[in-house]
Structure 1
Amino acid sequence: MDKTVATLIGIIGVVIGLHATRAMQETNITGKVFSARDSVWVYAVSGKDSLKTMVNNGKFRFTVKPGSWKVMVTENKLFNDDGKLVEVVEGSTLDMGTIILN
């Protein structure tokens, strides 16, 4: 019985360690948006993957897969092809800086 409990605790420790390592290696795109309007949307598109978020307190953040992403910022829920192509390296955070909308 004691050996089984020790084995279970060991397995749980390994699983927690693996998840902690994975969480530390998240790949992100972040940035700030300055706009006179309140509802600003940010889209990130890579192949068939797409993400969208509303800017909150002037900031946005995506957790993405490594690779090339096209990031677009718009003041309505529709977006056009304008945007910036960025390359995100695994385990890093790409800060796009401050984006100013007129």
Structure 2
Amino acid sequence: MDKTVATFIGVVSVVIGLHASRAMNQSNITGKVTSERDSIWVYAVNGTDSLKTMVSNGEFRFKVKPGEWRVIVTKNHPNTEGGQTVEVSEGRTLDMGTIILN
């Protein structure tokens, strides 16, 4: 019984450690958007991976894998030719600053 409990505690500790390590190495893209309109969408595209989020309280955040991402901020549908390409390092947060849309 004691050996089973010790094994269980060991396994739980390892799982918690792996999840904590993964969270610490997570990469992010963040930024702020100022616009006269309320419905602003932000897209992040990396090859076949794509993410989208609506700007909330003037801010956006993506959890991404490291690599080169094209970030598109738009009032409507994304323009496939637009956006800014950024490089995101592992375990880092890339702050794109304030983006102003007219």
Q: TM-score, normalised by structure 1?
A: 0.97
4+ residue segments displaced more than 3 Å: none
Aligned partners of 1:53 and 1:11: how far apart in 2? Answer: 36
1:79 partner amino acid: P
Which consecutive residues of structure 2, in runs of 5 or more, have no partner in the other structure?
Answer: none
Aligned length: 101
> Percent of pairs identical after alignment?
72
CA deviation string 1:60-87 (max 9, x = no partner)? 00000100000000012x1112110000
Q: TM-score, normalised by structure 2?
A: 0.97
1:72 to 2:72 alignment: yes
Which consecutive residues of structure 1, in runs of 5 or more, have no partner in the other structure?
Answer: none
RMSD of equivalent CA atoms: 0.6
1:37 to 2:40 alignment: no
